[in-house]
Structure 1
């Protein structure tokens, strides 16, 4: 029954995404769009692909930094492969890539899936914080263009729900500290039990090694980083890469060639808001991108749609090509490791 519900929900999301694509597609001058895309500047285009891949590699490397304190360091290259495979799955499903990414890393690195999932949740919280900082920077640099939008669509709704938001944040922080203290107490009891009865300790330790404790271990790992500076730099590097990728993609098309690096930051914020919409294939990104380009920067709707199509198509193609290559390479790595274990 659960499987059927999942299939139904994913099917509905895919149909909704198709509906969004069709709805926007009916309003587009495809001849003009194809002409613009066909004449894209390959130098800017290539630079955009390169910085995006670097950002994804940094995400894999940061994941390794996050999991080291939990006792499950990842090979940075294999972590990168797992990240790309996750993005490949996200092209066709909604958020399914995160679980597949964890499953692939668990298979290649022998790390427990709950710990990996907990670390990914922590990753997303960090990403949300960095995005918030970039949004504030965007507002500071482009106050006149963005204040009306932020006030109407973000600030006022946030103020309306400020109390539940603050309660939710406070509860989240409280839970994290509770988990941290509980882990310390468990560790203290375990050390005491080891001195009294090693046999009983082993049985209790196995009983306590539940999915919840593994998940919380991944979730709390950010408080025990061995190299916080590297983690912060990696987090900033990921988003700077996204920012540069957006800028290079804008410069590669004739309809958006006049956009500046500061404008690209605003476009990045809009595309990120689109990612939050749980639709496969980048349907949410397409809609928010086109909307933002028209509403904030006054770009004609047909040109805004052209960039939206171009951006989503390039992103999906990147995920499909490099995600597939990563799957093959990681599969070969896993087979190679299994062979060594069998021989050993």
Structure 2
């Protein structure tokens, strides 16, 4: 993936922000404290968390495969979607959000699939994840209502928020209408231009990818795997909480709230949620009585376990993809000669 100078600047700025947040959070945490926490932690629970989390990546790849195969005569195996998915996560560690395009590019190289169609399936997959995330937040709110209300009262003024929305609602509606008018005008004015035709072709393939869920053979499997993915997210964090003395007494509902905060931190446009994940997880743990140091140490252990999986499995996936590409290239060249 080639990057322009502007994109490299964006990457460096994003990485600098992530590193600065991480440094600011952990500048007062002594390495001895982290090492002591690791020595006291149960390797069994942490290892089980890593194992379950890896299984979650495989299930995510299987779910993505269902969407992809909906429009294919020659189905791809889960292993191909898994390699592509893990390469995407590895790319995200360097360039935020670029992993979604990267994993589509991998399947283009290994299976000759169209990136535009694959992007449609990725966006649909992410939209489903967002839906389930909202449901998990609602569940966490219902189980830990008092904690959420206290946080809302401390961080957000509901009255001020309503006032801002009402003040800027006409501006927002006007901006959307103006954007629609500009798109319509550009489409009418330049509809015969090559770039517009390419864009229209891309959008047709993109929408086709979004509609693939209606053509899936295993719709129940798609929705069931979506539920299991979030159950695994919870188990990944819950197992680590059981393995660390400072968090071993947290209730499952408390860990669910911690998971929600961590998920929100991972959405931030920084590499791998570095800094934002740690800040939000440590913050919510302090509301449950942990010290600031204990909360930050828990956050870094959880995040490091995920980074370890992404780096190790991501590198293995890169090697697997390179091998597949080398094998398929001679066959492609032979077809061209014929």
**TM class, shorter-length:** 0.7 to 0.9
What is the CA–CA distance in structure 2 between the aligned matches of 1:41 and 1:332, rounded to whole Å? 37
Q: 1:284 aligns with which of 260, 269, 276?
A: 276
2:108 aligned with 1:106, yes or no? yes
Deviates more, 1:123-132 or 1:82-91: 82-91
Partner residue of 1:305?
296
> What's the offset of the Cα at 1:339?
4.2
Alpha-carbon contact 1:118-1:218 (below 8 Å) kept: yes
What is the CA–CA distance in structure 1 between the aligned matches of 2:214 and 2:113, rounded to whole Å? 19
Alpha-carbon contact 2:11-2:94 (below 8 Å) kept: no
Residues 1:302 and 1:106: Cα distance change in structure 2 (over 3 Å): same
What is the CA–CA distance in structure 2 between the aligned matches of 1:69 and 1:151, rounded to whole Å? 47
Give the secondary structure class of the aligned counterpart of 1:269: helix
Residues 1:272 and 1:158: Cα distance change in structure 2 (over 3 Å): farther
Alpha-carbon contact 1:60-1:80 (below 8 Å) kept: yes
Deviations, residues 213-245 of structure 1 (Å, cap 9, x unaligned): 111211222333332211101111111111100
Give the secondary structure class of the aligned counterpart of 2:275: helix
Q: 1:140 aligns with which of 139, 142, 148?
A: 142
Q: 1:246-265 alignment to 2 at 5 Å?
A: 246-265=237-256
What TM-score, normalized to structure 1?
Answer: 0.81
Partner residue of 2:130?
128
What is the CA–CA distance in structure 1 between the aligned matches of 2:104 and 2:42, rounded to whole Å? 37
Q: Which runs of 4+ in 1 moved over 3 A?
A: 70-74, 150-164, 206-209, 337-344
> What's the offset of the Cα at 1:140?
1.2
Deviations, residues 285-308 of structure 1 (Å, cap 9, x unaligned): 1111111211x3121101001111
Deviations, residues 239-293 of structure 1 (Å, cap 9, x unaligned): 1111100101111222212223222211110110001111114222111111121
Partner residue of 1:334?
325
Alpha-carbon contact 1:117-1:215 (below 8 Å) kept: yes
2:96 aligned with 1:78, yes or no? no
Residues 1:303 and 1:207: Cα distance change in structure 2 (over 3 Å): closer
Uncovered stretches (5+) of structure 2, i.e. residues with no partner: 181-196
Q: 1:231 aligns with which of 216, 222, 237?
A: 222
How many residues end up aligned between the 2 structures?
305
RMSD: 2.7
